[in-house]
Amino acid sequence: MIPNLSKEMIDVMQQLRKRLRSEFNSDIKLSQPDVVHEILKLVNKSKDQKTQLLFADLEDLMGIELRTPVQEKENTTMKTTTRVYRGQVIEDIQPVVQSSATARVYRGHAVT
110: Cβ–Cβ under 8 A, 6 or more apart, which residues? Answer: 97, 103, 104
| Helix or strand run (H / E) with residue 35 | helix 35-45
What is the domain partition of the chain in residue ranges? 7-62, 76-111
So what's the pLDDT on residue 14? 92
Q: Is the pTM of this model over 0.95?
A: no
SS3 state at 12 = helix
Report how far residue 110's alpha carbon sits from residue 94's, in angstroms, rounded to the nearest whole number.
14
Report how far residue 30's alpha carbon sits from residue 13's, in angstroms, rounded to the nearest whole number.
8
pLDDT tens by residue, 48-90: 889 999 998 888 888 877 765 544 444 567 777 787 878 888 7
